[in-house]
Chain A
Amino acid sequence: MELFLTVCVTSLTLGLLYALFAIGLGLVLRGAGEVNLAHGDSLMLATYVGVGTLHVSGARSFGVLASVAAGAGLGVLSYLLVYAPVGARRATGVAGLGFLPALGVALVIRNVAERVNPQGSQGVRSLFAGGRVNLFADYRLPAAGWWVLGAAIVVPLGLAVVLRRSGVGRRVRAVADDPLLARAAGIPVTRTLAVTYAAAGAVGGLAGALFASFFGQVFVALGWQATLKGFVAAVLGGIGWLRGALLGGLALGVIESFVSGYLSTRFRDVVTFLLLVAVLLVAPRGVLAGSRLRQV
């Protein structure tokens, strides 16, 4: 029973972290139609900024805010300095290779991070307040686990409200649906897409801060892991704004944890990717595609 409960808790915490990774990717994918391969590396570097701020200031809130702000800033800068200019000059014949600039940005960020932290990985103290809480038997969940749960509820809800109710949200959705029509209607497309990248980066920065706090470590390879897990979650859940990412992340967490717990860790990635291929064959736009859930 203790094993089952541990696997359930692990499924939930990992799944929600994956969901937060996927939300940032999904925002750009849905809002700008681009696969942002630099998302994970941006959130990794933002996490370093947050951890560094905590180290310097000693204030956890400053650390979290710095991580979120750095994520947003990296998103905007990447878009304005690289993606937008490259996109404007890109020949339509190679539109399918639009992810290459993001790959370049990812590699640049990764190299910067390696300079920041030449040790490869670094133990960090939590950016979120609170001690361990006893869940069952001897299991004491770190406070960051509860913050993950809270963020996974608050972030999608907050974004949903902004997207549906606010002017900026409506502009983001209009640009996502048809950028040419949006421009003709007087919507500042470039500025709106910059907002989309900023929001995605901010969510990424928060996710990175939560990840580092939950595991007590930050490392350069986190960037690639976050991108990979986020993409898998996005595919499983489907290309929506929020709920697909949330459910896809949870599904991924459940699959990984239960395969590890009751089969073997060696089969974890095999099972995950077999399932992914199956989803791509049966429902290439994600298991939630076509349902009303993906509308938000």
Chain B
Amino acid sequence: MKRRSAVLLAGLTLVLGACSSDTSTTTASAPTTTAASAQTVTIALGGPFSGASKSTGDKIRAGAKLAADEVNSSGGIAAGPLKGATISFKEFDDAGLPANGASNIRTIVDDQSLIAFVGSGISDVSVAMAPVASQAGFPYLSAYASSPKVLEAATAQKSVFVVPPTFPAYSFSVTDVLLKDGRTKPAIIHGTGTYGDGVTDLSVSRLKAKSITPVANESFAFTDTDFRTQLAKIKSAGPDSLIIVGLANVDALILKQADELGLKVPFYDPGGVTNSDQFLKDAGPLANGLVGNTPTYAARNTDATNSLRAGYTKATGESVVPDPAVFSYEGVRAVAAALADGAKGRQDLPDHLRRIHIADTGVGSLRFGADGSRIGGRLYVFRVNNGKPEYFTSFEQTGPQEVKEVPLG
């Protein structure tokens, strides 16, 4: 039995090691709902509906469903050849794994009943999916994944769109605030991968443009839970601030462990992950002083904003509309607007997506540039005070790599 155990253990450990980066199920995804008829346009809805990032997938689903319910309850597509058609979804679970996403998009492209794709919560997944969609000229709207690499990877045909403001907008807005705060010795701790490395590189480049080099730049894997070693190295470098590029639960852990080590500096989140009830609850008073950004401005008071907020609260019971829900909501609204603009189907939908301009989706205006990036997206910058975000400025994305500061409103 001992010998058998040894052989089993040795083999399995290598197998497990090879799979160490996966923290969620590796089961191949499959469509979970089907609905199609002559009066129905079916959108492929993708995201991590299982696995470690399931909460992101749930929000993507909730936002998309809210938009579809709004369109359907108001009589369907407002105009165009498909006037009156209702919107339904066919779900594709990627479990947050690029391989699943790559497999899903081939199925989606081949399924002629699907008119567009909306979704994907992880940049690495979108980077894997977008080239396939682009090659086929299939309309692909990345809702939440916002790495510039999504568009860079999709150059064959202009059918890929990124609904959220892109990484530069997120990164530059908070980095600019850090510079305005007079920080000259920032340190960085960031997750690895397309998101973590991407946002970090942009922050570093923004700092270097002002002749500032981070005093330390440490990384971690998103599956990590202990950051004390990296934080000790950062502390020994004597920073005056710390840029954290992580996820909400990770950022809360980093704040706690920094406190345990006596690292008391202001924190900056250029990843847009800290405007969440979960983070503020987990981090508690340690979150006070943290600077972050978000596309949703709690004090925004327009008809569209109030409608979005009320609809989401009614559907989910949550008071804050989280980012993944906002962008999947906007993605579906964009598809509906493009169809109302005259699109006949998947072939000409990308052209119409580039033509539409929704003045106010609830978080601001929505239109796309020629390259598929969002133009005019707003990011609102806040500082946490007494456990609540207090907004003090905002930035507008004016190009793929450009932002400008604009007053709140």
Contacts and interface: CB of A to CB of B under 8 A. Distances in A.
Contacts, number: 155
A109 to B, nearest CB: 12
Contacts of A3: 232-233, 236
A2 B235 contact: yes
Interface size class of A (residues with CB under 8 A): 35 or more
B233 to A, nearest CB: 6
B253 A221 contact: no
Interface stretch (B53-61, B83-91, B267-275): B53-61
A265 B13 contact: no
B17 A176 contact: no
A37 B12 CA distance: 9
Contacts of A110: 25
Interface of B: 1-2, 4-6, 8-10, 12-14, 16-17, 20, 22-25, 27, 50, 52-56, 58, 192, 218-221, 223-226, 228-230, 232-233, 235-236, 249, 252-253, 256, 260-263, 278, 281-282
B6 A228 contact: no
B13 A284 contact: no
Contacts of B252: 123, 217
Contact of A176 (B1, B14, B219, B253): B1
A120 B1 contact: no
A3 B263 CA distance: 13
Most buried by B among A219, A227, A231: A231
B8 A96 contact: yes
B260 A219 contact: no
Interface of A: 2-3, 6-7, 9-10, 13-14, 29-30, 33, 35, 37, 95-96, 98-99, 107, 110-111, 114, 118-121, 123, 132, 137-142, 176-179, 211, 215-217, 219-221, 224-225, 227-228, 231-232, 234-235, 239, 257, 260-261, 264-266, 269, 273, 276-277, 280, 284-286, 289
A29 B27 CA distance: 26
A267 B12 CA distance: 22
Nearest to A32: B1
24 contacts: A2-B235, A3-B232, A10-B226, A29-B8, A30-B2, A35-B9, A35-B12, A37-B12, A120-B52, A120-B56, A123-B281, A139-B260, A142-B260, A179-B1, A219-B249, A221-B23, A225-B225, A228-B16, A231-B16, A260-B230, A261-B233, A273-B17, A284-B6, A284-B10
Contacts of B226: 10, 13-14, 215
A178 B2 CA distance: 10
Contact of A269 (B6, B20, B235): B20
A235 B23 CA distance: 21
A284 B24 CA distance: 29
A123 B282 contact: yes
Interface majority SS on B: helix, strand, loop or mixed? helix
Contacts of A120: 52-56, 249
Contacts of A284: 6, 10
A266 B221 CA distance: 8
Nearest to B6: A285
A107 B25 contact: yes
Contacts of A179: 1
Contacts of A140: 260, 262
A265 B256 contact: no
A141 B192 CA distance: 27
Contacts of B262: 137-140
Contacts of A139: 260-262
Contacts of A266: 192, 219
Nearest to B228: A10
Contacts of A257: 229
Nearest to B189: A265
A227 B25 contact: no
Contact of A29 (B9, B223, B235, B249): B9
A138 B265 CA distance: 14
B223 A265 contact: no
Contacts of A99: 8, 12
Nearest to A259: B229
Contact of A232 (B6, B17, B23, B249): B17
Given A107-B27, A120-B53, A221-B24, A215 B225 contact: yes
A296 B348 CA distance: 71
Nearest to B256: A216
